[in-house]
Every structure is written in C-alpha cells, then in structure tokens.
C-alpha cells in the first residue's frame, strides 16, 4: 500500500482444500476476489491424509500463480494446526452420502468431522474468527460446529445458501429476459435442501414486482421447484455436483460479510440490497432460536473493532403461502437438530 502501513495478512483456512470446490476457490481467494484487492492472505489447507497429495498439488500451482496478495500456503492434517490463528474458516470437506447410507448415518459421519473442527476452532482460532460451512448437510454441519465452540459468538457460524440465492437470481433474470443487475429483493429461506423456499414476494426486476414480471403461477410454482432442485439438475447434466458455482457463492458470502452488502458487486450500486445466508436464529420471523436457517441479510462490512455481523432484514411481510413454505423448511431443520442431539453430536439445551 503506497504511503500507508502494510496490512497484516488475514489467515484463511479451507478444509477439504484438495477437493473440487477447494481447488476452484483457492485461486480466487489468493487473487483478492474474496477479501479485496489490497488485503494480503495467508492460506491454510486442512485435509485428511488421503487428500493431502491433491492439496500439495494445489499449493504448487498457487506458487505458479505468483499472486501478489498471497503471503503463505500451509497444509495441515491436524485440526488444531489447521485452525491456529485462523480469521476465516471455510469448512468445505465433508462426508458425502454413499449408496445405502441413511440420513442419520450421514449426520453421524459428519458429526465426527464438524464436532472436532468446532472444538478446534473454539480452542485455536483467532478471536475474530468467522466460519462458513459449505459441506453438506451444510446447515446442520454448521450447527454441530457452532454448538461445539461455546466460546465463539454463535453468529460467527454460518452456512452457505448463497449458491441457492445466486441460482434464484440467475433463473429469475433469465425468465424475465432481464440483466442480473436488475434483480433485487430475492430471499432464500430455510435449509440448503429441496425444502428451501426461494421467495419472490419482495423481489423486483428493474423496479417492477417480480411476481408481476414473471407471473405468480410460475414464480410460486415451477420456479421454486427449479431452484430447490438445481443441485440435482447440475449433477444430472454435468455428471457431478456443482463446483465452480459453489466456490463462487462461498466467495460471494464471505466478501459481502466482510466488505459489506452495499459495496458488493451484487448490489448493482444500490444501497440497502440484501442477500441470503444461513445464520443461528435469534427468533426472527418465528424461526426457533438456535437452528441455522437461511434468511434475508445485510452486512455493513468491517469498520475496525468488532468484525461485521450479518443483520437480518426485518419487517418483511410474510403471507400465508410464504409462511407455510418457511415453516416446512424450518421443520426439516428442527428434525435434523433433534437427530444430531439424539446422536449426542451437540449438547442438549
Ligand atoms: N452448500 C452448498 O451450496 C454446496 C454446494 C455444492 C457442494 N456442497 C458440498 O460441499 C462438499 C464438498 O464438495 P466437493 O465437490 O469439493 O467434494 P470433494 O469430494 O471433491 O472434496 C471434498 C474434500 O474434503 C476432504 N475431506 C473429507 N473429510 C475431511 C476432513 N475431516 N477434514 C478436511 N478435509 C476433509 C476430502 O479429502 C476431499 O478432498 C460436499 O459436501 C458437497 O455436497 C455444498
Ligand atoms: O445438491 C447437491 O447435492 C450438491 C449441492 O448441495 C448443490 O446444491 O449443488
């Protein structure tokens, strides 16, 4: 920084860094796309032993990228080392569902990952640590990590629904034959699953109510199903689950949290724009406290002192259709919470 004091690097830990989303995210983080063009970054890649070689390959390529903002790349297999002093943690590595696996088996397998990682974050991360969980089932994995990190403020644990949000914006713009920058006011409510509710009630396209622009029959029918099942559509068409769009969404989430939603390229230069993120509920919109549910959010961005928090956009009118959709997705999250509680993966309240 010409004439100014050099900024201290922010340490970013990426778990599952040897996997596909990790590979797609690392180079953009190193380039400044996540934390801004003046912010140096120290990368920490946390992998299990089977994934270390792929992470080492990515680390070699990071050198070959000659990124001016990248101050170091370290690989760890031990969570304590992987999260030591970490400011931003992207929890991507998780156990995918395999043939014959029940949902409870999946939750248990992931509990064995996210419980210890939550404890390691609690004990070793920096005081200002912020966490984004990408690995599925993202909301409940985030809950497990958060509940195993009692010394970290709960709101620092979030789960990724920005991919759903971006899908909802992209598909609406496509249908309305409008530019993405003309779309505002879309919300994803609930779980990153097929019960999620992409809500157009408050959305606009070039200033016009979105449900008028595309018709309520589509906007409250096929559209919801399309967005909620987009992950499966990508798997079918691409032959594998979303990678680049997921990494892009993770970067969008952290960027807008740290730098603020008004400064976001997604705001199209307007103030007051919102996005969607899954946060521990404090009871807003009738969502039971504690579960990590997607809601409309803004961030003012870091301004020195305490790290910026996501603020829930309050006061939106929820009609009967939206209420039923939100309640259904929230019920699924409550059931997942009850399951991981019964499995002993989170302490009971
Ligand atoms: N929330 C979302 O919007 C969203 C979108 C797409 C994918 N996902 C999920 O993201 C996850 C990662 O997807 P991917 O395509 O990169 O998978 P991948 O299989 O390519 O990579 C996962 C990596 O995680 C590593 N890993 C496993 N357990 C680990 C642990 N305990 N600690 C550190 N690393 C560990 C594996 O070795 C592997 O390298 C999956 O759970 C996927 O379902 C979420
Ligand atoms: O849908 C999936 O299983 C993968 C991922 O969560 C996605 O939304 O693309």
Mean residue pLDDT of the chain comes to: 95
> Cβ-count burial of 305 within 10 angstroms (0-12 exposed, 13-18 middle, 19+ buried)?
exposed
Q: Point out the ligand 1 atom lying closest to the alpha carbon of residue 23.
A: 16
Cα of 167 from ligand 1 centre, angstroms: 20
Quote ipTM for the complex. 0.99
Sort strands 292-299 and 275-280 into parallel, antiparallel or unpaired: antiparallel
* Given 124, 165, 192, 253, the catalytic residue: 192
pLDDT(271) > 90 = no
138 lines ligand 1 (CB under 6 A): yes
Catalytic residue list contains 192: yes
Closest ligand (CA of 141)? 1
242 lines ligand 2 (CB under 6 A): yes
Specify the residue with its C-alpha closest to ligand 2, atom 5: 231
Q: How far apart are CA 201 and CA 339, in angstroms?
A: 32
Q: Are 130 and 89 in contact (CB under 8 A)?
A: yes
Cα of 93 from ligand 1 centre, angstroms: 4
Query: Would you give the distance in Å from CA 273 to the centre of its chain?
Result: 18
Closest ligand (CA of 294)? 1
What is the dihedral sign for C-alpha 208, 214, 220, 224? negative
231 lines ligand 2 (CB under 6 A): yes
19 annotated binding-site participant: yes
Cα of 242 from ligand 2 centre, angstroms: 6
In this prediction, residue 3 has a pLDDT band, given cuts at 50, 70 and 90, of: very low
pLDDT(77) > 50 = yes
Can you give the pLDDT at residue 4? 55
Specify the residue with its C-alpha closest to ligand 2, atom 3: 231
Specify the residue with its C-alpha closest to ligand 2, atom 2: 231
213 lines ligand 1 (CB under 6 A): no
Specify the residue with its C-alpha closest to ligand 1, atom 39: 19
Q: What is the pTM of this model?
A: 0.97
Nearest Cα to 251, choosing from 27, 7, 56, 15?
A: 27
Phi and psi at residue 207, in whole multiples of 5°? 85, -10
266 lines ligand 2 (CB under 6 A): no
Cα of 49 from ligand 1 centre, angstroms: 14
Can you give the pLDDT at residue 285? 98
pLDDT(1) > 50 = no
In this prediction, residue 96 has a pLDDT band, given cuts at 50, 70 and 90, of: confident
User: pLDDT tens-digit profile of 117-161?
Assistant: 999 999 999 999 999 999 999 999 999 999 999 999 999 999 999
**pLDDT > 70: percent of the chain:** 98
Cα of 94 from ligand 1 centre, angstroms: 5
pLDDT(5) > 90 = no
234 lines ligand 2 (CB under 6 A): yes
Can you give the pLDDT at residue 2? 46
136 annotated binding-site participant: yes
Residue with tokens 């039971």: 288
């Amino acid at each position: 920084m010409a004439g100014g004091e050099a900024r201290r690097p922010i340490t970013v830990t990426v778990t599952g860094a040897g996997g596909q989303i990790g590979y797609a995210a690392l180079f953009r983080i190193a380039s400044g796309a996540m934390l801004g063009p003046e912010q140096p970054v120290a990368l920490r890649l946390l992998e299990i032993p089977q994934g270390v070689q792929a992470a080492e390959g990515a680390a070699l390529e990071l050198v070959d990228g000659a990124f001016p903002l990248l101050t170091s790349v370290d690989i760890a297999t031990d969570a304590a080392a992987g999260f030591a002093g970490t400011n931003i943690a992207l929890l991507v590595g998780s156990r995918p569902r395999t043939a014959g696996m029940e949902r409870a088996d999946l939750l248990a397998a992931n509990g064995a990952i996210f419980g210890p990682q939550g404890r390691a974050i609690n004990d070793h991360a920096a005081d200002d640590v912020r966490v984004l969980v990408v690995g599925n089932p993202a909301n409940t994995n985030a809950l497990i990590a958060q509940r195993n990190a009692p010394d970290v403020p709960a709101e620092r644990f979030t789960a990724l629904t920005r991919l759903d949000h971006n899908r909802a914006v992209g598909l609406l713009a496509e249908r309305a034959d409008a530019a993405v920058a003309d779309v505002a006011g879309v919300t994803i409510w609930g779980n990153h699953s097929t019960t999620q509710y992409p809500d157009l009630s408050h959305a606009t396209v070039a200033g016009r109510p979105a449900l008028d622009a595309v018709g309520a029959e589509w906007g409250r029918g096929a559209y919801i199903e399309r967005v909620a099942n987009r992950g499966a559509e990508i798997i079918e068409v691409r032959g594998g689950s979303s990678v680049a769009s997921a990494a892009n969404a993770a970067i969008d989430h952290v960027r807008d949290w740290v730098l603020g939603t008004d400064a976001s390229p997604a705001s199209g230069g307007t103030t007051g724009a919102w996005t969607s993120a899954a946060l521990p509920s404090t009871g807003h919109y009738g969502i039971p406290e504690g579960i990590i549910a997607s809601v409309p959010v803004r961030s003012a961005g870091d301004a020195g002192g305490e790290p910026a928090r996501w603020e829930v956009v309050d006061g939106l009118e929820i009609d009967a259709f939206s209420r039923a959709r939100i309640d259904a997705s929230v019920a699924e999250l409550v059931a997942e919470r009850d399951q991981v509680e019964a499995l002993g993966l989170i302490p009971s309240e």
